[in-house]
């Protein structure tokens, strides 16, 4: 008996250990506590953006408060050595501009003070979480610019609504500053009002935090009339008069802001002086502060608009001065850049920016209307070294419209160069934004003879024939992912040349690489960013670092880490062309993923160095806005930014014969720019694909009505497509919630009705009378004019792979069951109207080991496992068959919304079952019917009393007839697809003789087991807990017996 009991105890303990290990395997977390202090006590709009280094970020909101200010405690991945943070608002106004990092080895609690870039791991002196004092001594220092303090008093308003006053008895005047002192009751935040004769005057409602009360219960604050902030720092009060800002707001106007108001009557035409001298037409005082302020004293003003008689010259450095206020250099207001007068004066129409080479001479042109001087510096090699002096320095000259030019005689082929640019008295070295080649790491441009980089036959060869956008089947892949695995059989691992190799196989002899893509039948190979990007050190390729490449550096030349020699600028150009030519000659088109919406950095980018403030959007304070989520966003609506984007796309399409462009965060570009890109490509080849993400990565100052988002697709050219997140998340669940399920992966206990969104995708987002928009949560309208405007997909490089999503949402499912879900997803995407797209490897159960953001994860996470093709050969063949089916029947590729509306008819069916017929699907008038069953049960759908040839079922897909079924009621197995072609020649015997559903459906396992296993798993843990309790009771009984 005792042996039995001991055995039970052992089992119970083992089961308990299993439970503990399972819990720990999910990963431990550390709690980071962040405290934040603002002198003004105004925390309402501020929050934190946090990320574990190498991971995605998220917003966190303060949920506690102590004497220092608000704080929040956050659990983050313990494996991260550093935690990045930004103090910001929801509109991405930043407290401090740069990203900061918490070193978790130094502590798990920090204190941040507003406006200070440094922070502390130690609590400030005297810090206490709770304040025990009931009152404190408040000292207020207040400066009025006119030093008139007669009848001035102050009202203090506490958080509980009570008030107190500082009156004459508490005041004295020293050195022109009013000093008031009084013991007041304690409060975390106090609002201060200035009263004149008992009435509110000056700035209303300035608030301050009392966190800086010292050990003697004293707090001293400093305030200047007309300012909206108050500070515990003595230097906050400025007695000096100065010109705070002088902005060029139009070609003839300057807006001036003074630190201390002056008498309006004192300002005559000679009140402000400009150097170099320019005649002043008039000077006007504007409203004396924004709407938050009361009027400064009558007859005084601190803001003036100066109108000049002649336009300002953008290339000159002007200084404005005023007696007693000193001088200030003029700076450009960002609003000037969108003015008609600026664009008329400084928009360059030529197509020759950059270096135009010939053996006789090279002409350099660069656009920089704000530059004071520019020179071209030449070097013998492309590797930038500190302190290295150029071989030759050649000055450039202005030629109009903001363009600088240098025409240099002689053969400069393969010479490396940069521009030396002086703007606003600061000189920087700048890589030519139009550079066509570069040295290692893209730090120096290179003069190149492009004709010498053409492989044999490159100019003569052409892309495969391609007519309509909906004929495309897009295959998204990263350059490294194709070849880095040893089982790829590819020699040029991680290189453009890897795409040129044929005859490569995996461990079992199945095709890989180029041959695999050709065998699969896709039409377009979509390359993740392959232009030159910043985040890989090309001089250290042995380290095998990985990045997706959404960090633009040089837009008009290929990435060096994908070439066999990044040091020689011509090599990357030639090898990119070899890749394109090889793909073309094997029947494949090439799509570039382009990222014109932001750059890796903004403050020191080539664009900013040439024309500060022009290429990027900014807020009212001049800070870069962050609609990209990457720290900046380009201003495509400005003429020369738009020109750069169009010029760049045209260059890739003509010089490299690229067949398509996918725009990252296309919603950050304006509609007009995108339509101009389409127009320019049409002049080259109308069949070039153009599509993008119809959303932004954050809030942007670009008005909604101008954004190239999917909701505005009706304003875009009908051959500009947007990704459909509608069908993406309807198929498999939200990409932002790993546990959320969709049409293909819902079980009994988590049924998710996504039918209308699936139907919305099936009709390619065009208007259809049988689609109910109320059931389409992501769209309030049919956003596509034509099917060519919709990209249907289930997975891309972002977020979990399709296979990983299925694993996450169906943890107890067998491999066979997951394959059935995967097949169902593929069938929906590859038979829907519009343009189908899928991530490389989806056809062979690609996993990234659960990593949902692998942008800089190692190759071991990202590379394709080509041996999966052997293990999942059936899945590969299913994708291959679906693609062949799509190519064979035009009915899956209808070109107009009208045709879809006339021919595609949905059929009544149960929830999570979608059925439809395509009338006149083939030339002889026969129909095609499709049924998708997303449930765990066999379902019946009534079509008609016709006979049907089965082209696709749960096992097989293709153009061959699998079998013929008759009768009006069609039985569809769980989690499966049927594609049926009407057979008018078969003999119809009626429903009673129809082939039974169980004769055509045998699943590898019963799909209902998924739900049963999930339920059983819960009962397993209940059983474990019960055994542990019983075992404990038995042990207690044994010990009691022994005593």
Annotated catalytic sites, by residue?
A: 664, 693
Distance CA 624, CA 92 (A): 9
Q: If you search the block for the tokens 């990044």, which residue do you land on?
A: 566
Beta bridge partners of 634: 616
Cβ atoms within 10 A of the Cβ of 747, count? 22
Of the candidates 471, 634, 440, the residue with the CA atom closest to the CA atom of residue 534: 440
Distance CA 669, CA 692 (A): 10
Distance CA 701, CA 928 (A): 47
- Specify whether the CB–CB gap between 528 and 476 falls below 8 A: yes
Of the candidates 916, 886, 911, 915, the residue with the CA atom closest to the CA atom of residue 901: 916
Of the candidates 937, 724, 947, 697, the residue with the CA atom closest to the CA atom of residue 829: 724
Name the token pair of 956. Answer: 């097989």
Helix, strand or coil for residue 680?
A: helix
Distance CA 697, CA 709 (A): 11
Residues with Cβ within 8 Å of 234's Cβ and at least 6 positions away in sequence, in order, are: 141, 220, 222
Of the candidates 446, 390, 437, the residue with the CA atom closest to the CA atom of residue 416: 446
Of the candidates 324, 271, 282, the residue with the CA atom closest to the CA atom of residue 305: 282
Beta bridge partners of 533: 552
Q: If you search the block for the tokens 């010990």, which residue do you land on?
A: 1039
Distance CA 721, CA 692 (A): 6
Of the candidates 39, 28, 41, 48, the residue with the CA atom closest to the CA atom of residue 102: 48
Of the candidates 256, 288, 260, the residue with the CA atom closest to the CA atom of residue 146: 260
Cα three-residue angle 889-895-896, rounded to 5 degrees? 135
- Specify whether the CB–CB gap between 47 and 75 falls below 8 A: no
Contacts 24+ apart (CB under 8 A), 309-314: 309/252, 309/278, 309/279, 309/280, 309/281, 310/252, 310/278, 310/279, 311/251, 311/252, 311/341, 311/345, 312/248, 312/251, 312/252, 312/254, 312/278, 314/345, 314/346, 314/369, 314/370, 314/402
Give CA 1010 to chain center in angstroms: 36
Polymer length of the chain = 1043
Name the token pair of 813. Answer: 């499912």
Cα three-residue angle 49-550-646, rounded to 5 degrees? 120
Name the token pair of 679. Answer: 């127009």
With 0-12 / 13-18 / 19 or more C-beta atoms within 10 angstroms meaning exposed / middle / buried, residue 123 is middle
Pairing of strands 416-423, 445-446: antiparallel
Q: If you search the block for the tokens 């595609």, which residue do you land on?
A: 904
Name the token pair of 29. Answer: 């977390």
Positive or negative, the CA dihedral 344, 346, 350, 351 is negative
Buried b (16+ CB within 10 A) or exposed e, 148-186: ebeebbbbbbbeeeeebebeeebbeeeeebbebebebeb
Distance CA 591, CA 691 (A): 10
């Amino acid at each position: 008996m005792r042996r039995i009991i001991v055995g039970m105890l052992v089992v119970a303990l083992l089961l308990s250990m299993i439970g503990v290990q399972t819990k720990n395997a999910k990963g431990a977390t550390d709690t980071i506590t962040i405290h934040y202090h603002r002198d003004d006590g105004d925390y309402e709009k501020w929050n934190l953006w946090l990320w574990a280094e190498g991971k995605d970020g998220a917003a966190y909101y303060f949920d506690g408060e102590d004497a220092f200010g608000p704080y929040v405690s956050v659990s983050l991945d313990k494996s991260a050595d550093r935690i990045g943070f930004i103090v910001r608002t929801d509109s991405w106004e930043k407290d401090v501009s740069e990203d900061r990092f918490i070193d978790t080895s130094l502590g798990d609690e920090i204190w941040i003070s507003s406006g200070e870039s440094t922070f502390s791991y130690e609590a400030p002196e005297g810090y206490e979480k709770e304040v025990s004092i009931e009152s404190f001594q408040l000292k207020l220092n207040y400066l009025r610019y006119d030093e008139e303090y007669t009848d001035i008093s102050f009202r203090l308003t506490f958080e509980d609504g009570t008030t107190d006053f500082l009156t004459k008895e508490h005041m004295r005047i020293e050195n022109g500053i009013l000093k008031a002192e009084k013991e007041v009751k304690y409060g975390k935040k106090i609002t201060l009002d200035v009263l004149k004769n008992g009435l509110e005057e000056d700035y209303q409602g300035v608030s301050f935090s009392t966190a800086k009360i010292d050990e003697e219960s004293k707090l001293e604050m400093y305030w200047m009339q007309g300012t909206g902030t108050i500070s515990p720092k003595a230097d906050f009060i400025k007695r000096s008069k100065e010109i705070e800002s002088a902005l060029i707001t139009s070609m003839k106007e300057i807006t001036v802001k003074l630190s201390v108001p002056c008498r309006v009557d004192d300002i005559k035409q000679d009140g402000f002086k400009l150097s170099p001298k320019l005649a002043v037409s008039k000077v006007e005082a504007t409203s004396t502060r924004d709407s938050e302020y009361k009027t400064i004293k009558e007859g005084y003003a601190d803001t003036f608009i100066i109108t000049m008689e002649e336009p300002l010259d953008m290339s000159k450095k002007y200084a404005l001065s005023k007696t007693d206020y000193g001088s200030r250099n003029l700076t450009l207001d960002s609003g000037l850049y969108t003015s008609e007068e600026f664009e008329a004066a400084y928009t360059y129409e030529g197509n020759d920016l950059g270096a135009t080479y010939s053996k006789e001479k090279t002409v350099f042109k660069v656009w920089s209307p704000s530059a004071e001087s520019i020179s071209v510096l030449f070097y013998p090699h492309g590797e930038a070294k500190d302190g290295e002096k150029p071989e030759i320095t050649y000055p450039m000259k202005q030629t109009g419209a903001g363009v600088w030019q240098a025409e240099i005689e002689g053969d400069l082929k393969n010479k490396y160069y940069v521009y030396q640019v002086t703007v606003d008295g600061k000189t920087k070295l700048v890589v030519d934004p139009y550079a066509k080649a570069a040295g290692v790491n893209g730090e120096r441009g290179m003069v190149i003879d492009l004709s010498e980089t053409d492989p044999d036959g490159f100019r003569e060869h052409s892309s495969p024939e391609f007519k309509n956008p909906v004929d495309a089947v897009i295959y998204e892949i990263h350059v490294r992912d194709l070849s880095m695995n040893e089982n790829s059989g590819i020699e040029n691992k991680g290189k453009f040349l890897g795409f040129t190799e044929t005859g490569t196989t995996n461990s079992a002899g199945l095709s890989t690489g180029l041959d695999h893509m050709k065998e699969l039948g896709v039409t377009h190979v979509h390359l993740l960013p392959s232009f030159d990007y910043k985040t890989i050190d090309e001089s250290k390729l042995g380290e095998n670092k990985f990045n997706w490449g959404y960090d633009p550096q040089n837009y008009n030349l290929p990435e060096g880490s994908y070439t066999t020699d990044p040091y020689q600028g011509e090599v990357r150009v030639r090898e990119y062309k070899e890749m394109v030519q090889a793909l073309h000659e094997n029947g494949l088109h090439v799509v570039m993923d382009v990222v014109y919406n932001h750059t890796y950095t903004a403050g020191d980018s080539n664009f900013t160095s040439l024309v500060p403030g022009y290429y990027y959007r900014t807020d009212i304070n001049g800070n870069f806005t962050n609609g990209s989520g990457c720290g900046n966003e380009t201003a495509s609506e400005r003429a020369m930014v738009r020109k750069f984007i169009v010029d760049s796309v045209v260059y890739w399409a003509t010089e490299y014969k690229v067949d398509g462009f996918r725009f990252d965060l296309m919603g950050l570009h304006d509609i007009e720019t995108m339509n101009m890109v389409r127009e320019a490509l049409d002049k080259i080849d109308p069949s070039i694909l153009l599509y993008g993400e119809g959303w932004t990565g954050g809030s942007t100052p670009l008005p909604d009505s101008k954004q190239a988002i999917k909701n505005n697709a009706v304003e875009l050219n009908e051959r500009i497509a947007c990704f459909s997140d509608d069908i993406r998340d309807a198929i498999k669940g939200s990409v932002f919630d790993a546990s959320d399920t969709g049409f293909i992966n819902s079980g009994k206990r988590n049924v998710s009705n996504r039918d209308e969104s699936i139907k919305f995708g099936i009709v390619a987002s065009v208007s259809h009378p049988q689609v109910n928009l109320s059931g389409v949560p992501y769209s309030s309208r049919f956003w596509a004019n034509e099917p060519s405007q919709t990209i249907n997909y289930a997975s891309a490089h972002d977020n979990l792979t399709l296979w990983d999503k299925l694993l996450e949402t169906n943890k107890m499912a067998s491999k066979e069951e997951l394959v059935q879900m995967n097949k169902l997803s593929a069938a929906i995407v590859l038979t829907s109207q519009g343009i189908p797209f899928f991530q490389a490897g989806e056809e062979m159960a690609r996993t990234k080991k659960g990593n949902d953001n692998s942008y800089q994860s190692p190759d071991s996470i990202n590379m394709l496992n080509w041996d999966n093709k052997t293990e999942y050969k059936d899945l590969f063949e299913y994708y291959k068959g679906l693609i062949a089916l799509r190519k064979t029947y035009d009915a899956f590729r209808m070109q107009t919304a009208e045709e879809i509306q006339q021919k595609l008819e949905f059929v009544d069916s149960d929830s999570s079952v979608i059925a439809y017929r395509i009338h006149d699907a083939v030339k002889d008038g026969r129909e095609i019917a499709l049924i998708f069953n997303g449930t765990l049960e066999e379902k019946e759908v009534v079509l008609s009393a016709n006979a049907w040839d089965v082209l696709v079922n749960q096992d097989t897909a293709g153009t061959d007839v699998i079998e013929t079924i008759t009768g009006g009621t069609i039985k569809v197995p769980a989690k499966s697809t049927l594609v049926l072609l009407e057979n008018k020649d078969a003999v119809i015997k009626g429903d009673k003789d129809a082939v039974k559903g169980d004769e055509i459906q045998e699943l590898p396992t019963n799909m209902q087991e998924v739900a049963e296993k999930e339920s059983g798993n819960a009962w397993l843990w209940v059983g474990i807990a019960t055994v542990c309790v019983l075992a404990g009771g038995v042990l207690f009984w044994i010990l009691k017996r022994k005593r």
